[in-house]
Amino acid sequence: MTKEARLAFVRDYNEVLRRADFKPDPFQSRLTEQAIRLALLFHLYEHCTIDARGPGTFGADMTGHEHPLSVGAARAGLMVRDWFERRQAEFLGPQREHAKEAGWEKARKIMLTRPDGITARDVYSGRVIAANKAEAESMLAEWAEEGRVIAILPKAGTAGRKVTRYKLAPVFAKG
């Protein structure tokens, strides 16, 4: 590929990493790879000529292997990949929203049985609501921002682990 095409893919991959806070999931880590595959198809099509040699007979002259992949083909591959990524997000959006609300309902039911509140560990223990501590903390912070839960910060100067507990906001505490 040309230097400009390679630079377009490098910049794209760096942007993918930045958006994922440099911890991409397996799907995200292959986004640029998918764009390269699409760009290769555009490149091959660009360097393919088909001519009619007779009734129902065609010949193809493929010379893509003789030319470097252009920045135009690279950008076309990135654009098509982005289109598919947007369609996937639209398709999965309702499913993710449903899973998010189901997680909230599970956590809410646990909080109804624990008057002292819950911790992030309660949310990710057993991986029923959250997959890990970071995800649990993110969920709890979002629920606190939305006013669903109230964060109870640990008292300074007390012995033991300093853990933030979360209780249901009064409006959500009704069974």
**b (16+ CB within 10 A) / e for 103-113:** bbeebbebbee
Domain boundaries, the chain: 1-95, 114-175
Amino acid letter, 61: D
For the stretch 123-167, pLDDT in tens is 888 777 888 888 899 999 999 999 999 898 887 776 767 788 999
Residue 18, helix vs strand vs coil: helix
Residue 129: how many CA atoms within 13 Å on its side-chain side?
Answer: 27
- The CA distance from 30 to 85, in Å, is 12
Confidence of residue 68 (pLDDT cuts 50, 70, 90): very high
Whole-structure pTM value: 0.63
114-175: which CATH topology? Answer: Arc Repressor Mutant, subunit A (1.10.10)
Q: Are 143 and 171 in contact (CB under 8 A)?
A: no
pLDDT at 99: 87
- The CA distance from 143 to 139, in Å, is 6
How much is the mean pLDDT over the chain?
90
How many Å separate Cα 156 from the centre of its chain? 37
pLDDT of residue 16 exceeding 80, the answer is: yes
